[in-house]
Amino acid sequence: MPAYVAYYDASGTQASGAAPLIVTGLIATEARWRRFDREWSRVLKVAKLPYFHATDFAHSRAPFERWRGRTEPRVRLQSALLHVVKRNVFKVVIVRLTQQDFEAADARFQLHEKIPTVYACAAGNCIFKVRHWVAKTHNADVAHVVERGDSGQGPLVDALAREGINSVTIKAKADESGGGLHHFKRLISWPMRFN
């Protein structure tokens, strides 16, 4: 079992044109991820939420409808969840890439020959940055877990395999499976009141 596990999630799509595709990787040990999961679940339980999804939160859609226009509970939830991340995650890596930027680089360097999509390029770059950080700071193995559903995951896995990286697992979205990247958790020292 690798000493570190990195979870990756993408925001945006590779078909967005000028809008960026953002891939985020979070690195922690297996023990820290378990603690993260317990703490994140505790925050969600106290807030009476089944899951946290940033898009639903930002637009006050279910299950966040009851907080529409209410700043205090929203700030408390964000603070509590961010505290869970800061307490348990060693490093966050973010890669931002647009379709236009990918096409410009592809025209110059023929990226499509090895990395055929924006998603494969952004996620692959994020994975390489994580591997570099873990190797440089901890000289340890790292397992990579990618959230299922992003377009271009097949080409990503193929491109990584060509580079000898076979430690990538594709898992169901957290709000579908009850665990994973979206279930960052933390117990906080002050009482939370979300209602």
Q: At what angle are helices 71-88 and 30-46 packed, to 10 degrees? A: 170
Counting residues of the chain whose pLDDT is more than 70, the rounded percentage is 84
CA separation for the pair 59, 47 (Å, rounded)? 17
pLDDT number for residue 180: 41
Alpha helices in 30-173 (DSSP H): 30-46, 54-58, 71-88, 99-109, 118-137, 153-162
Residue 176 has pLDDT above 80, yes or no: no
Give tens-digit pLDDT for 38-91.
999 999 999 999 999 888 999 999 999 999 999 999 999 999 999 999 999 999
Q: What is the mean pLDDT of residues 114-132?
A: 91
pTM: 0.80
Average pLDDT for 166-192: 49
- CATH number 3.30.420 is the correct assignment for the domain at 4-183: yes
Range of lowest pLDDT (70-74, 83-87, 97-101, 181-185):
181-185
Q: Quote the percentage of the chain above a pLDDT of 90.
A: 50
Over residues 129-157, the mean pLDDT reads: 87
What tokens appear for 185 in the block? 């958790």
Mean pLDDT (whole number) for 125-142: 91
Pairing state between β 20-29 and 91-98: antiparallel
User: Is the pLDDT score of 31 beyond 50?
Assistant: yes
